[in-house]
C-alpha cells in the first residue's frame, strides 16, 4: 500500500511540474515585456531596465516616470537606437488613425489593450520569436512597407499595425478578441 501511495504521489509531483512548465511556455502574457529574464539591473543608480534582443545585439530600456531611455549594446552591426516615444504619445497618434478608419471609440480601447499586452507601446520591443515593435510584427522588417525608419519610428509601426489589423481582423476589437482566444493576433 505504501509503495502504491508513493507511486501516486510521485506521479502527481511530475504532473504538477509538467503543468507549471506548460503554463510557463504557453502563457500568452509572457511576451517581451513580461518575461523576467529581460529585466536587468543598471549599475548606475540601480534602476531596473528591460533587455530586448535585436539583430546584432540587444537594447536596454530603462523607464523613468513616463519616459523610456535606451542603450544599444551591439556586436558591431547597425541596430536601432535613440529615444523611445512615451506610450501616451504613441497612443495619441494611434487614436487619430483609429478615428480616420471610422471606427468607434471602443475600438481604440481594444487597440490599447492589445498593444499593452504585445509591447507596452515600446517601439523597440523585441520578442525572442523575432517579433518587433509596437505591433510585434513578425518579421519586423515587413513594417518597412509603411515607412523607412520602421525600427525606431512609432508612427511607421502604428500605421503598419493598424493597416494589418484592418486587413486581417476588420478592427482592433476583432484582433483583441482573437488575441484573447488564442493568446496572440
Predicted local confidence at residue 148, as pLDDT: 84
**What is the average pLDDT across 157-176?**
95
166 falls within a domain: yes
pLDDT one-digit tens code per residue, 18-34: 666 555 455 444 444 44
| C-alpha cell, 43 | 549599475
Structural domain total, the chain: 1
Lowest mean pLDDT among 32-41, 45-54, 166-175: 32-41
Residue ranges making up the domain that contains 148: 87-182
- Indicate if the pLDDT at residue 165 is higher than 90: yes
68 falls within a domain: no
Residues 113 and 179: their CA atoms lie apart, in Å, by 10
137 falls within a domain: yes
Helices (H) and strands (E) in the chain, counts: 5, 4
pTM higher than 0.75: no
State the burial class of residue 107 (Cβ atoms within 10 Å of its Cβ: 0-12, 13-18, 19+).
buried
Residues 115 and 31: their CA atoms lie apart, in Å, by 11
State the burial class of residue 92 (Cβ atoms within 10 Å of its Cβ: 0-12, 13-18, 19+).
exposed
| C-alpha cell, 9 | 504521489
140 vs 46, higher pLDDT: 140
Residues 138 and 134: their CA atoms lie apart, in Å, by 11
**What is the average pLDDT across 33-52?**
46
For the chain, what is the mean pLDDT?
A: 74
21 falls within a domain: no
Predicted local confidence at residue 30, as pLDDT: 45
Q: For cell 506548460, what's the residue?
A: 22
In what order do the strands lie in the sheet containing 67-74? 39-41, 48-54, 57-64, 67-74
169 falls within a domain: yes
152 falls within a domain: yes
144 falls within a domain: yes
pLDDT one-digit tens code per residue, 58-112: 555 555 555 555 554 544 444 455 667 888 888 888 888 888 888 888 899 999 9
| Number of C-beta neighbours around residue 180 at 10 A | 14
pLDDT band at 54 (very low <50, low <70, confident <90, very high): very low
- Indicate if the pLDDT at residue 38 is higher than 50: no
pLDDT one-digit tens code per residue, 147-159: 888 888 999 999 9
Kindly report each contact of residues 171-175 with a partner whose C-beta sits within 8 Å and lies 24 or more positions away, as own/partner: 171/101, 171/103, 171/107, 171/110, 172/98, 172/103, 172/107, 172/108, 172/110, 172/111, 172/114, 173/106, 173/107, 173/110, 175/110, 175/111, 175/114
Q: For cell 486581417, what's the residue?
A: 168
Predicted local confidence at residue 20, as pLDDT: 65
58 falls within a domain: no
180 vs 82, higher pLDDT: 180
Amino acid at each position: 500500500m505504501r509503495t502504491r501511495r508513493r507511486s501516486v504521489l510521485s506521479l502527481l509531483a511530475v504532473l504538477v511540474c509538467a503543468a507549471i512548465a506548460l503554463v510557463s511556455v504557453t502563457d500568452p502574457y509572457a511576451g517581451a515585456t513580461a518575461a523576467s529574464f529581460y529585466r536587468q539591473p543598471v549599475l548606475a543608480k540601480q534602476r531596473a531596465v528591460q533587455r530586448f534582443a535585436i539583430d546584432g545585439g540587444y537594447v536596454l530600456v530603462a523607464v523613468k516616470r513616463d519616459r523610456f531611455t535606451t542603450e544599444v549594446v551591439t556586436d558591431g552591426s547597425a541596430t536601432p537606437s535613440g529615444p523611445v516615444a512615451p506610450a501616451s504619445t504613441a497612443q495619441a497618434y494611434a487614436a487619430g488613425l483609429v478615428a480616420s478608419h471610422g471606427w468607434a471609440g471602443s475600438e481604440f480601447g481594444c487597440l490599447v489593450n492589445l498593444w499593452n499586452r504585445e509591447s507596452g507601446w515600446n517601439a523597440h520591443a523585441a520578442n525572442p520569436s523575432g517579433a518587433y515593435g509596437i505591433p510585434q510584427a513578425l518579421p519586423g522588417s515587413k513594417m518597412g512597407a509603411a515607412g523607412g525608419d520602421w525600427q525606431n519610428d512609432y508612427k511607421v509601426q502604428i500605421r503598419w499595425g493598424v493597416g494589418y489589423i484592418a486587413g486581417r481582423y476588420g478592427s482592433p476589437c476583432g484582433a483583441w478578441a482573437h488575441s484573447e482566444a488564442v493568446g496572440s493576433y
